[in-house]
Structure 1
Amino acid sequence: MPPSTFFFVTFLLCLTTPEAKVFGRCELARALRYNYGFPLDQLPTWVCIANYESLYDTSAFNRVSGDHGIFQISQLCWCSDDKHPGKNCNAVCSKFRDDDIADDVACVKKIFAENERLSGDGFDGWMTYQSCRDNVGEFTTGCF
């Protein structure tokens, strides 16, 4: 390969964004339970929230609200929109839009804990929670 082609290909690879992932509902439920230790009784609500926030798409980005990732984490309080980690989750917002949800989960747990402290219900941190308050068992039916 000529050196100019090598540098061009390398340049293009640097421009690409990290891979995103669209989870299946059961795949997300199992990941949250087995990889991240979410309580079993909370899983239907978390999966419901991810459904309404992003349709399980880790690359979701709301340009109007500045919300990022599968759980639509807000850049107003929780992450920095530049290249340096910041705000309450000490994170860069764009990192919430790749296929690795470990950082999303760490931030979501902080958001949940803060809302639990403030309102008594950690899920209040998500507007879509209103749609996920009741009868959400179908979001994890057949998953376990």
Structure 2
Amino acid sequence: MATALIAANGRILHWSPDAEALLGFPADQAVGRFAADVLVAPERRTEVLGLFARILEGRPWSGVFPVRHRDGHLVGLDFRTYPVLDREGSPMVLAVASDVSEVRRLAADLAVLDGFFTQSPVGMAVYDTELRFVRLNEALARINGLPVDRHLGGG
């Protein structure tokens, strides 16, 4: 998860290593620059500045927005943004983002794994570090002769 902290004037204050990996800009090339100048295509600048102003006013925003990579191509990012205050009470924006294509790939992978888990005739379980059941399928519950809920949390 990439994170960035942006001052009310639009300058980047913090740029995480994950933001660097995702968008190609090293922190020393991002911090101190105006986020809209670095990351937003000119035709979307007015839109993003309006969105930024609403977040600064206290309205968090979540959604997908295309952001410019250092090499120029656009990356669709799934954002969660939050208005925050610095120590003096000045507003800032905390942005947490991930690559939409990666999120969608993970969701598809999880759906496939969930299908295998729930439909398998073979007993399957997931355990925590103390070897307690975290999840098990109906096949294993039948093999053990106990309902699923009686397994959870036990060893």
TM-score w.r.t. length of structure 2? 0.26
Which structure shows the higher helix fraction? 1
TM-score w.r.t. length of structure 1? 0.27
